[in-house]
Amino acid sequence: MAAVVALFPFGVNAQFMMFGSGNRASQDSLRKIAAADYADMLSKVGVEQTRGGRQPNSQDESKHPNYDELTANPYPFYPDPLVTENGKKVRNARMWYKVRRPEIVRLFEEHVYGRIPDNVPGVTWEVTNEEHKDFGGTPVVVRYLKGVVDNSICPSITVEIQANVVYPDNGSTKLPVIIEFGFGGGDPTRSFGNQKSWQQMVIERGWAAATINPSSIQADAGSGLTSGIIGLCNKGQFRQPTDWGSLRAWGWGLSRLIDYFETDKTFDATKCAIEGVSRYGKASLVAMAFEERIAAGFIASSGKAGAAGWRRDCGESIGNIISSEEYHWVCGNLIKYGADPLTENDIPVDQHELIALCAPRACFISTGSWNGDKWQDVVGSFISASKASPVYELLGYKGVGTDLFPGMDNGLMDGRLTYRQHHGGHEAGPNWPYFLDFFEREVVR
């Protein structure tokens, strides 16, 4: 506690009050709000100091990330997704759904991502604008949406979810929908030079392409945890250690968008996919794991807290995720595992089990090239897919089919769970056509 007291001699709440609401605050005061929130959480979980994250630019070489495969597996034993907490082997689908899956859900909620509270208010969707236009030679409808959250429990906090959807203007109904965690405000038909946008690829296949703006659900910063949907449910107070972080909040917002698609026969909400890159790759995997209506996921370059295992030592580390810059993505309890005496090896789950929660739905784990995407641990993401595969197999589907890393541009694409490392960098780009083929085969049929 000493460090916390020194930073905030007036007490955490007094500091928070001094900086008021996030809207008018300067960058500096936002940082102070985040520091107060972070300090409050450290004291709640009883951590004085974390071990710190990897720092590629540090003068101190011992802080650099590891990229040597020979030393990347300091903790080679991962929890078995098919053994229950009391040591019983999961032998069939019934036991998976009745016993083991709920155990894994509970462990992720308790130790990694936090729980969605029982009192989350409802959302009312409005169409704010609708346009008919040409999109690369195809007539389309672009619909802009706003999901207004009922804030009667705390009227000073407003949450309005921004989303849009573009679809072929030909009267078709029951369209599959590919949804991206991205930036909801812009025109989804804007062009990027000669390169086809993902929306254009989706439209050419005759489906709908939607974007949801995560920051309109929950800010991507610790300073925002007392506002957004998390702050609204806590009536402006700091979080408790098992309260949800931004990743789960973004997933909650996506679930509400799926509710909207369920109300309009233009769309087939049973055929929707989520895609995201980097932090939004993490969000996509978290959303898909917990929301069983999501039929497919394109999980791109998601790294730690996404597809890459905590037990791996390659690129970013748990220390980065639980730092004051990123801890808002997860629940407070995760901080304990990045501070002595606990280690990553003490986390009672690992990320292959998050992928396993997606089973048997169509999940595509995507990474970029070794150099372009190394911070996000391309091999670790594959290892998680490989270790999740037995759950797909138990449920009667093929997983990635091997535990040997396949190398670049050599996708393991036959199963319901797939892995492909593309030649590009930290992006989804080159894997889009592969994902859309996979979605067509496994979901649209």
Q: Which residues bind ligand GCU (CB under 6 A)?
A: 278-279, 303-304, 316, 320, 375
Within 8 A by CB and 6+ apart from 383, the residues are 309, 312, 352, 403
Please give the structure tokens belonging to residue 380: 């670790």
Closer to ligand GCU by Cβ: residue 268 or 350 = 350
Closest CB 274 distance from ligand GCU, rounded Å? 16
Is residue 284 within 8 A of residue 303, CB to CB? The reply is no
Closest CB 321 distance from ligand GCU, rounded Å? 6
Closer to ligand GCU by Cβ: residue 279 or 374 = 279
Q: CA–CA separation, 330 vs 245, rounded Å? A: 4
Please give the structure tokens belonging to residue 364: 């595509």
Closer to ligand GCU by Cβ: residue 176 or 281 = 281
Closer to ligand GCU by Cβ: residue 316 or 353 = 316
Closest CB 266 distance from ligand GCU, rounded Å? 32
Closer to ligand GCU by Cβ: residue 65 or 176 = 65
Closer to ligand GCU by Cβ: residue 15 or 320 = 320
Which contiguous run of DSSP H or E holds residue 276?
Answer: strand 267-277
Residue 180, CA atoms < 13 Å, CB-side half-sphere: 23
Closest CB 376 distance from ligand GCU, rounded Å? 6
What is each CA distance from 318 to 55, 270, 343, 374, in whole angstroms?
A: 12, 35, 9, 15
Please give the structure tokens belonging to residue 439: 């979605």
Nearest to 415 by CA among 360, 376, 366: 360
Within 8 A by CB and 6+ apart from 236, the residues are 154, 156, 157, 226, 227
Closest CB 336 distance from ligand GCU, rounded Å? 19
Burial-class residue 1 by CB neighbours within 10 Å (0-12, 13-18, 19+).
Answer: exposed
Closest CB 301 distance from ligand GCU, rounded Å? 7
Amino acid at 99: V
Closer to ligand GCU by Cβ: residue 294 or 321 = 321
Closer to ligand GCU by Cβ: residue 162 or 284 = 284
Closest CB 70 distance from ligand GCU, rounded Å? 23
Closest CB 316 distance from ligand GCU, rounded Å? 4
Place of tokens 């990045």: 338
Closest CB 64 distance from ligand GCU, rounded Å? 14
Closer to ligand GCU by Cβ: residue 96 or 181 = 181
Q: DSSP labels for 171-232?
A: ---SEEEEEEES-TTS-TT--BTTBPPHHHHHHHTT-EEEEE-GGGTS-SSGGGTTSHHHHH
Is residue 100 within 8 A of residue 372, CB to CB? The reply is no
Q: CA–CA separation, 181 vs 279, rounded Å? A: 9
